[in-house]
Structure 1
Amino acid sequence: MLQAEKVSRKKVSEIIVEQIEGWIHSGKVHPDEKLPSVRELCSMFEVGRSAVRDAITTLTGKGLVEVKHGEGTFVRSTDPNQILSGVLLFRESDINELYQVRKILEAGIVEMAAVHASVVQIDSMKQTLDQLLMATTLKGWEADYRFHQQIAEASGNQLLINLMEAVSSTMKKGIMDTHRVILSDINLSSAVMGQHVAIYDAIEANDSVRARTAMLSHLTYVEELLHHHLQNSSD
């Protein structure tokens, strides 16, 4: 007889925790901002009150939210040191593997994008790049990720686009961690933003060689940046 394993309350609450953490780290909700009420969260996630309460308890324990009785649940304020202390979910091997894949994929992809990108696609990249350059919160990682995906789409090769999608989950984590690091250091932020501009300029100029060089330079820089901060955080 087939037996189905019930989805435990713990698993449901963990999913809620992950999504709310995503809101906080991406900047969709800001420090001191009030989260939706328990009733609203139940409706949004289509779960019972106990699952939501368990999730809030977990988030409170992590120091991400604060429950003010009679008022609601609020995102806690953080300073750059607190942001850095929670950064880098990767191990050394995770960073190595991710950036090995990204260098192999994106170096070739950007070469093709420099040759095949349409005027409309280049305009879309420019709009996303502008959003990235103006970003002042962790939410900037979304524009960063979208910029790289737009380059893949501009390559015109559906298989390459699919391969980028296949590593998108891990890639998002890497980009989000990068933005947590650079958010606290204007020099690092300026360097990374400048690298994105160099990639865009090469694509706009239809210079595939320069585009490849710019992409590899950017990915190598970010990989070393993540390694450096991971090592410092473990000292």
Structure 2
Amino acid sequence: MLQAEKISRKKVSEIVVEQIEGWIRSGKVQPEEKLPSVRELCDMFEVGRSAMRDALTTLKGRGLVDVRHGEGTFVCRTETTHLLPDVLLFRKSDINELYQVRKILEVGIVEVAAVNATSYQLEHMEEALGELSKAKTVKGWEADYQFHQVIAEACGNVILIDLMEAVSSTMKKGIMDCHRIILSDEKLTFDVLGQHVAIYEAIKASDPTKAREAMLRHLTFVEELLNSHLQ
């Protein structure tokens, strides 16, 4: 039986808004970064000036961009607060189940990593922390995820590494949600970075007990953070 998809009734300007907002969501454009000129945007999207002006007006109304006369259009630094209403990808039960698994896996993994981590792996953890400390957009989640992955590799247990890989896609969503939330609050950003540093310092000191405590503290903090925003 033939089936036809409904034809979109969206205006051209609304489609442009969605795509530019997508750039901002994904971090393809940074806060305070200047967007291409109106003429360049018209060429990129193959739309007229009136549709592009309507799109920019909508984005400005949402607080996502700042249109400066004679200078151009710039991404607002506070854009993340406008993304919070649809930030969480999980139901409450999904969050609790994910972090139950992460606590079982990663708290044990980090204990072993504290004993087995090589200087090469410690260097990679430090690099990930450096990237995390400089992150100004939601793309900071990538450095966060990489930090946890290096810890898994440092444990040296192939089965545990495979188990981490099995939950990686769900884990990525949780980390992305966390970073969308903390970017709107400097204190939260500082706290989460500090938790990662504490984990790293314990591994570097070859102290499995402190590493375990630091990882558990971090995962519990993020789980509670996600649940509070879901409510």
Q: Scaled by the length of structure 2, what TM-score is found?
A: 0.72
Deviation of the 1:115 alpha carbon: 0.4
SS of equivalent to 1:165 = helix
Over residues 6-55 of structure 1, what are the superposed CA-to-partner deviations in whole Å (9 max), with x where a residue is unaligned? Answer: xx9x9xxxxxxxx9988643413446646x99x999xxxxxxxxxxxxxx
Alignment-derived partner of residue 98 in structure 1: 98
Mapped contact 1:138–1:183 kept (Cα < 8 A): yes
**Within 2, Cα distance between the matches of 1:112 and 1:29?**
39
Q: For residue 225 of structure 2, what is the amino acid of its counterpart? A: L
Deviation of the 1:136 alpha carbon: 1.3
Instruction: Classify 1:80/1:26 alpha carbon distance in 2 versus 1 (closer, same or farther; 3 Å).
Output: closer
Alignment-derived partner of residue 178 in structure 1: 178
Alignment-derived partner of residue 83 in structure 2: 83
Q: For residue 92 of structure 1, what is the amino acid of its counterpart? A: K
SS of equivalent to 1:138 = coil
Deviation of the 1:83 alpha carbon: 1.9
Instruction: Classify 1:167/1:85 alpha carbon distance in 2 versus 1 (closer, same or farther; 3 Å).
Output: same
Deviation of the 1:125 alpha carbon: 0.6
Deviation of the 1:75 alpha carbon: 10
Q: CA RMSD in A?
A: 3.6
Pick which of 75-84 and 217-226 moved more: 75-84
**Within 1, Cα distance between the matches of 2:119 and 2:75?**
43
Alignment-derived partner of residue 134 in structure 1: 134
Alignment-derived partner of residue 217 in structure 2: 217
Over residues 98-126 of structure 1, what are the superposed CA-to-partner deviations in whole Å (9 max), with x where a residue is unaligned? Answer: 00000000001100110000011101111
Mapped contact 1:152–1:161 kept (Cα < 8 A): yes
Q: How does 1:10-89 map to 2 (within 5 A)?
A: 24-30=24-30, 33=35, 79-89=79-89
Alignment-derived partner of residue 54 in structure 1: none
**Within 2, Cα distance between the matches of 1:30 and 1:80?**
11
**Within 2, Cα distance between the matches of 1:21 and 1:167?**
29
Mapped contact 1:29–1:75 kept (Cα < 8 A): no
Q: For residue 156 of structure 2, what is the amino acid of its counterpart? A: G
Instruction: Classify 1:23/1:81 alpha carbon distance in 2 versus 1 (closer, same or farther; 3 Å).
Output: closer
2:163 aligned with 1:155, yes or no? no
**Within 1, Cα distance between the matches of 2:134 and 2:157?**
30
Q: For residue 118 of structure 1, what is the amino acid of its counterpart? A: T
Alignment-derived partner of residue 167 in structure 2: 167
**Within 2, Cα distance between the matches of 1:221 and 1:169?**
20
**Within 1, Cα distance between the matches of 2:126 and 2:23?**
25
Deviation of the 1:80 alpha carbon: 3.6
Deviation of the 1:134 alpha carbon: 1.4
Q: For residue 139 of structure 2, what is the amino acid of its counterpart? A: K
Q: For residue 161 of structure 1, what is the amino acid of its counterpart? A: I
Alignment-derived partner of residue 204 in structure 1: 204
Instruction: Classify 1:21/1:105 alpha carbon distance in 2 versus 1 (closer, same or farther; 3 Å).
Output: farther
The structure whose Rg is larger is: 2
Unpaired segments ≥5 residues, structure 1? 1-7, 11-18, 42-59, 67-73
Instruction: Classify 1:119/1:174 alpha carbon distance in 2 versus 1 (closer, same or farther; 3 Å).
Output: same
Question: How many residue pairs were aligned?
Answer: 199
SS of equivalent to 1:206 = coil
**Within 1, Cα distance between the matches of 2:23 and 2:173?**
14
**Within 2, Cα distance between the matches of 1:207 and 1:23?**
42
Mapped contact 2:30–2:136 kept (Cα < 8 A): no
Mapped contact 1:138–1:179 kept (Cα < 8 A): yes
Alignment-derived partner of residue 144 in structure 1: 144
**Within 2, Cα distance between the matches of 1:90 and 1:21?**
22
Alignment-derived partner of residue 192 in structure 1: 192
